[in-house]
């Protein structure tokens, strides 16, 4: 037995004690995830990330429990009932991806009145007592024009692929693009087509306008439509312009192929499904007594030319690039918002 071993052991022990003290505030707290829909790959990845990260957090004794609940149908009334059940189960915090920005307000208020911390993300709620981790879709639009302005200082004509009509996400990304074009008047959107965030739809609608489409320098998109657009250009025998990608596996794979073959350059952006874990850590920080502003903005997960190989590694086949957040990242986001 050497002194060194004892020293090491006591150092390890004191380290354990220190970390236990840091999380003692929330060690017996329980957090629930209320989710309204689980029917696509993004939501599946979101739930898997939640289970992975919170499972580890429970094991490490940072929180007492973190259960995930999904409603059978994407319906606001059913989710309101689910929230009320969670209140009765005595959760300390509820992390919420909401079916409606307003229809859950009554239930959210009841939860707040019962002393429960409510953190909404992705599908956020307007009730003032809840925290919101929102996506800045407008910035996702204007960032694309910013990027193109750097690539093509002289500007040029653009093709815009829209998302699902009538949704707020489509409206906001579009508004961001319009704003970007206003700030960089050397660009002009010559044609808008509907892509529904789906490769096949985007390919069909881009192909149908290609015959009458003048030379464009770039294609601004909403994600999930870049690969389809590229296929349409290729099939028509035209040179493929700079298409902004949306972190889908097929988009990144195609980009990698082109990059290796002819040095094709673009960038790719989307929201990582792992944003559920960011919401989890924010809830944990609030329970820990930290002062957190009510409105936070999720950073988009952006892949640039240099980060392509790494980004592709983070993307499961057929899925979206994912990133799970850590406690430190959440703390950083909170302090940067203050």
Give me the residues that bind other proteins (CB under 8 A), please: 35, 38, 47, 67-70, 72-73, 75-78, 80-82, 84-90, 100-107, 109-110, 126, 168
Minimum Å distance from CB 120 to other proteins? Answer: 14
Name beta bridge partners: 159.
191, 219
In the complex with other proteins, the residue whose CB is nearer, 175 or 312, is 175
- Closer Cβ to other proteins, 16 or 81, answer by number: 81
From the CB of residue 171, how many other CB atoms can be counted at a distance below 10 Å?
A: 15
Q: Which helix (H) or strand (E) holds 219?
A: strand 218-220
Nearest distance from C-beta of residue 124 to other proteins, angstroms: 12
Q: What distances in angstroms separate CA 41 from CA 148, 221, 255, 281, one per listed residue?
A: 30, 20, 21, 23
Using CA atoms, how far apart are residues 86 and 63, in angstroms rounded to an integer?
17
Smaller CB separation from other proteins, 104 or 296: 104
Q: How far apart are CA 103 and CA 105, in angstroms?
A: 6
In the complex with other proteins, the residue whose CB is nearer, 102 or 305, is: 102
Q: What's the closest the beta carbon of residue 330 comes to other proteins, in angstroms?
A: 23
* Minimum distance, C-beta of residue 154 to other proteins, in the bound complex (Å): 39
Q: How far apart are CA 68 and CA 43, in angstroms?
A: 12
Residue 128 backbone class (left: φ over 0; alpha: ψ -120 to 50; beta: rest): alpha
Q: What is the DSSP letter of 300?
A: P
Q: C-beta of 214: minimal distance to other proteins in Å?
A: 35
Q: Which is nearer to other proteins, 90 or 318 (CB)?
A: 90
């Amino acid at each position: 037995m050497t002194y060194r071993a004892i020293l090491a052991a006591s150092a390890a022990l004191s380290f354990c004690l220190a970390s236990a003290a840091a999380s003692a505030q929330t060690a017996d707290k329980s957090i629930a995830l209320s989710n309204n829909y689980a029917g696509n790959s993004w939501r599946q990845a979101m739930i898997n990330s939640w289970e992975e990260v919170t499972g580890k957090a429970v094991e490490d004794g940072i929180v007492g429990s973190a259960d995930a609940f999904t409603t059978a149908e994407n319906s606001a009334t059913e989710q309101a009932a689910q929230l009320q059940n969670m209140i009765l189960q005595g959760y300390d915090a509820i992390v919420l991806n909401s079916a409606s920005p307003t229809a859950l307000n009554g239930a959210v208020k009841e939860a707040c009145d019962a002393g429960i911390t409510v953190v909404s993300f992705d599908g956020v709620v307007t009730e003032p007592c809840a925290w919101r981790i929102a996506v800045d879709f407008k910035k996702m639009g204007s960032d694309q024009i910013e990027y193109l302005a750097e690539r093509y200082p002289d500007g040029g004509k653009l093709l815009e692929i829209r998302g699902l009509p009538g949704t707020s996400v489509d409206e906001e990304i579009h508004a961001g693009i319009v704003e970007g074009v206003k700030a960089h008047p050397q660009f002009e959107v010559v044609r808008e087509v509907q892509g529904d965030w789906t490769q096949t739809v985007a390919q069909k609608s881009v192909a149908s306008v290609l015959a009458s489409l003048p030379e464009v320098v770039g294609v601004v998109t909403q994600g999930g439509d870049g690969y389809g657009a590229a296929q349409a250009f290729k099939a028509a025998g035209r040179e493929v312009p700079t298409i902004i990608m949306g972190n889908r596996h097929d988009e990144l794979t195609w980009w990698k192929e082109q990059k290796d073959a002819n040095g094709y350059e673009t960038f790719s952006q989307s929201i990582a499904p792992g944003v559920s874990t960011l919401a989890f850590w924010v809830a944990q920080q609030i329970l820990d007594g930290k002062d957190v502003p009510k409105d936070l903005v999720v950073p988009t997960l952006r892949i640039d030319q240099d980060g392509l190989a790494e980004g592709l590694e983070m993307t499961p086949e057929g899925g979206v690039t994912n990133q799970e957040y850590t406690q430190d990242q959440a703390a950083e986001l909170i302090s940067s918002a203050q």
